[in-house]
Amino acid sequence: MAHVILDGLEKPVANIFCIGRNYAAHAAELGNAVESEPMVFLKPTSALLREGEDIVLPGFSEDVHHETELVVLIGKGGDDIPVAEALSHVAGYGIGLDLTARDVQSLAKQKGAPWTKCKGFRHAACVSALVAADKVRDPQALSLRLDVNGAVRQQGSSCMMLFPVAYIIHYLSCVYGLQEGDLIYTGTPEGVAALHAGDALQLSLDGLLKAFWRVRA
């Protein structure tokens, strides 16, 4: 069973929900329209990769992109959770990478096919250790940053989300239901780009935590 680390303790992961096109600038850089409601896709738990393990790029893609994201761990599940109560259901926050096989995704879009292969391969859901929710005063006021080989690659703030964390939780609970252990990847700011063998990645979440990965050569 897949696990994440919250305050030094292992927590089992249930579902992995991901929100696409939740930053206007990222949607624009890929030529995508802004959605009128959260765009949701799933990753299998077998895609999860914790900090410290090497990223192995899939052999079926020549263009795997990083997408730096605020990650939310649900501590208390529920259906039809009101927006006003949504943040009380959060156990912890972290930072992660939604890896995307962009060439495979482009082909899937052309065919109108599902995104599972381009979004759900092994190591496609990188996640840091998590900090407890009570250490985050406002999840909409967090800076996110990715450095690749020592150079800033992505930098943004959760205040730029089109759909804030509380609304995402509300929406997912109404459509799918949420349960303890669900992870939510909340979308990426602009600056996505390809990864290459040997790349060293450092992710930072607003001074709360840092996480490191290396792409295996």
Q: Which two tokens stand for residue 210?
A: 């840092």
- CB count, 10 Å around CB of 84? 9
Query: What type of residue sits at position 133?
Result: A
Instruction: Note the pLDDT of residue 85.
Output: 98
Instruction: Note the pLDDT of residue 123.
Output: 98
| Largest Cα–Cα separation, the chain | 46
Over residues 43-66, mean pLDDT: 97
Spatial distance between the Cα atoms of 44 and 128, rounded to a whole number of angstroms: 17
Q: Residue 144 half-sphere exposure, CB side, CA atoms within 13 Å? A: 28
The pTM for the full model equals 0.96
List Cα–Cα distances, 102 to 72, 86, 147, in angstroms: 24, 32, 20
> Where residue 24 falls among pLDDT bands split at 50, 70, 90?
confident
With 90 as the cut, is the pLDDT of residue 29 above it?
no
Instruction: Note the pLDDT of residue 28.
Output: 65
According to DSSP, the residues that pair with 212 across neighbouring strands are: 202
Q: Which two tokens stand for residue 69?
A: 């994201």
- DSSP string of 51-107? TTSPB---TT-S-EEE-EEEEEEESS-BSS--GGGGGGGEEEEEEEEE-EEHHHHHH
CATH 2.70.70.10 fits 3-214, yes or no: no
Q: Each residue of 138-158: pLDDT tens digit?
A: 999 999 999 999 999 999 999
Q: Each residue of 170-205: pLDDT tens digit?
A: 999 999 999 999 999 999 999 999 999 999 999 999
Q: Each residue of 56-88: pLDDT tens digit?
A: 999 999 999 999 999 999 999 999 999 999 999
Q: Which two tokens stand for residue 207?
A: 């001074």
With 70 as the cut, is the pLDDT of residue 161 above it?
yes
With 70 as the cut, is the pLDDT of residue 40 above it?
yes
Q: Each residue of 88-130: pLDDT tens digit?
A: 999 999 999 999 999 999 999 999 999 999 999 999 999 999 9
The full set of domain ranges for the chain reads 3-214
Return the SS3 of 65. Answer: strand
Spatial distance between the Cα atoms of 87 and 55, rounded to a whole number of angstroms: 31
Mean pLDDT of the chain: 96
Q: Which of 64, 61, 69, 48 is nearest to 126 (CA)?
A: 48
